[in-house]
Chain A
Amino acid sequence: MHPIEPELKALMLKSIGGDDRAHRDLLNRLSGYLRGYYRGRLTRMGRSVAEAEDLVQEALMAIHTGRHTYDPAELLTPWLHAIARYKLLDYLRRTHASMRDVGLDQAEDIVAVDDRAGTESALDLGRLLTTLPERMREAIRLVKIDGLSVAEAAARSGASESAVKVNIHRGLKALAAAIARESKP
């Protein structure tokens, strides 16, 4: 077990409980590890490290929308690694490379390098948001960007609270798909 595991797992459990600050802390720390992982793998394959940031953002979206798939009885690092590696393989498949280029990984490779520098992808969040259906974009803007509570956003947009939650969830999933579609070199 990697020494960072208990710390990250504790953050994850709070994040699953709906704790904003723990979630932000978790995503911030994971973005460093993910960047280190993707840059290392891409460099080894002779690819540009500029591609890494798209992957970091794809993986963060997957981690966010897929928190429910983490089994609290298990270690967190292998779960993270599985997502990060899946996203890498999926990206390489989209861009015509193969599993041989990635080679064998250990679960702990995912927290081997922490890279916090150079954190901009080629994607434009504002433009990606415009590709979403109106109700999803509105729900995400009110709750996730303007910071209104779900109840306030529901009152403002005249939808029910559960509709707002569903729209945010679906919107983020659609956004993740849009990031995946657009992040090609």
Chain B
Amino acid sequence: MKTDDLIDMLSTNVQPADTRKVARSIVLAVAVGAVAVVGLVFLAFGTRADMGHAGSLVHLVAKLVFSLAVVGLSLLYLIRLARPGGERRVSLAVVALPFVAIIALAVGVLSMVPQGHWDDVVLGDQWLECLISIPLIAVVPFAATMWAVRQHMPTDLRRAGALAGLVAGGISATGYALHCMDDSVPFVAVWYGATIVLCAAAGAHLGPKLLRW
């Protein structure tokens, strides 16, 4: 085939292209994933029993601030990374900020708790459920997000996959927080933080396979 023939074909009746579509479709995919996660938590897990109390509400909001900060920052960078050459404009240090902040807070809390109670504070009642649930719930928003990112020709597949995993993990943690009764900051730092990072690692591993175009 002559390249000129290809160009002829491509430039006959050219349609306008919408450059805002990248951000829109990724945000939409993330929103669909978030709705699915919240639905799943309501149906399969149930919300925390003490939802009505002011005290538990404060704990819930604190957890949501952390997980939503992760979602917000990583979504911002994912939208950049989804385009060809987007990796030029991404500094992953910013994405780490919520993690650094919660680890600092957790260390602060632990320093005020007698060492004998560290087990209770860190392990809570349900660390195993948290460890299994967050990555499992994240599968749904991860699939939706990866599907959207693939449409926009990312060129750094590993990092794009990692950020998609981070977004999915953050959404999943947000949903799981509606159910989870373990409220200590060290618990959230260790189990929420670690599972979200696990999702990012899985995304980085799967990115080069799933995002090829």
Residues of A within 8 A of B (CB): 15-21, 23-24, 27-28, 31, 53, 56-57, 60-62, 64, 66-72, 74, 78-79, 81-83, 85-86, 90, 107, 119-121, 123-125, 128, 140, 143-145, 147-150, 165, 168-169, 172
Cβ-defined contact, A78 with B3, below 8 A: no
Contact of A27 among B7, B18, B89, B213 (CB under 8 A): B7
Interface positions of B from 124 to 139, Cβ below 8 Å from A: none
Cβ-defined contact, B153 with A66, below 8 A: yes
Contact of A57 among B1, B8, B85 (CB under 8 A): B1
Count of A-B contacts with CB under 8 A? 125
Residues of B within 8 A of A (CB): 1-19, 21-22, 82-89, 152-153, 155, 212-213
Cβ-defined contact, B10 with A69, below 8 A: no
Contact of A125 among B6, B84, B85, B213 (CB under 8 A): B6
Cβ-defined contact, B13 with A78, below 8 A: no
- Contact partners of A67 in chain B: CB under 8 A: 17, 19
Closest A-chain residue to B10, C-beta based? Answer: A64
Supposing A70-B19, A149-B13 touch, asked if A24 and B7 sit within 8 A by C-beta, the answer is: yes
Closest B-chain residue to A180, C-beta based? Answer: B213
16 cross-chain CB contacts under 8 A: A16-B17, A28-B4, A61-B6, A66-B153, A68-B18, A68-B152, A69-B19, A69-B84, A70-B19, A70-B83, A79-B83, A81-B85, A83-B84, A120-B1, A147-B12, A150-B15
Chain A, interface SS category:
helix
Chain B, interface SS category:
loop
- Contact partners of A79 in chain B: CB under 8 A: 83-85
Contact of B15 among A82, A140, A165 (CB under 8 A): A165
- Contact partners of B19 in chain A: CB under 8 A: 16, 67-72
A16, A20, A69, A121: residue with the most chain B Cβ atoms closer than 10 Å: A69
Cβ-defined contact, A145 with B152, below 8 A: no
Closest B-chain residue to A127, C-beta based? Answer: B1
Supposing A24-B7, A79-B85 touch, asked if A69 and B12 sit within 8 A by C-beta, the answer is: no
Closest B-chain residue to A64, C-beta based? Answer: B10
Supposing A60-B3, A90-B212 touch, asked if A147 and B152 sit within 8 A by C-beta, the answer is: no
Cβ-defined contact, B14 with A20, below 8 A: yes
- Contact partners of A70 in chain B: CB under 8 A: 19, 83
Closest B-chain residue to A60, C-beta based? Answer: B6
Shortest 6 CB-CB distances between A and B: which pairs? A82-B85, A18-B16, A24-B11, A67-B17, A82-B84, A125-B1
Contact of A144 among B1, B3, B13 (CB under 8 A): B13
CA separation between A60 and B10, bound complex, in Å?
Answer: 9
Supposing A60-B7, A124-B1 touch, asked if A143 and B12 sit within 8 A by C-beta, the answer is: yes
- Contact partners of A124 in chain B: CB under 8 A: 1
CA separation between A83 and B82, bound complex, in Å?
Answer: 12
Closest B-chain residue to A53, C-beta based? Answer: B3
Cβ-defined contact, A18 with B155, below 8 A: no
- Contact partners of B85 in chain A: CB under 8 A: 74, 78-79, 81-83, 107
CA separation between A132 and B116, bound complex, in Å?
Answer: 68
Contact of A69 among B16, B87, B153, B212 (CB under 8 A): B153
Cβ-defined contact, A31 with B11, below 8 A: no
* Closest Cβ–Cβ distance, residue B156 to chain A (whole Å): 9
- Contact partners of B22 in chain A: CB under 8 A: 68-69, 71
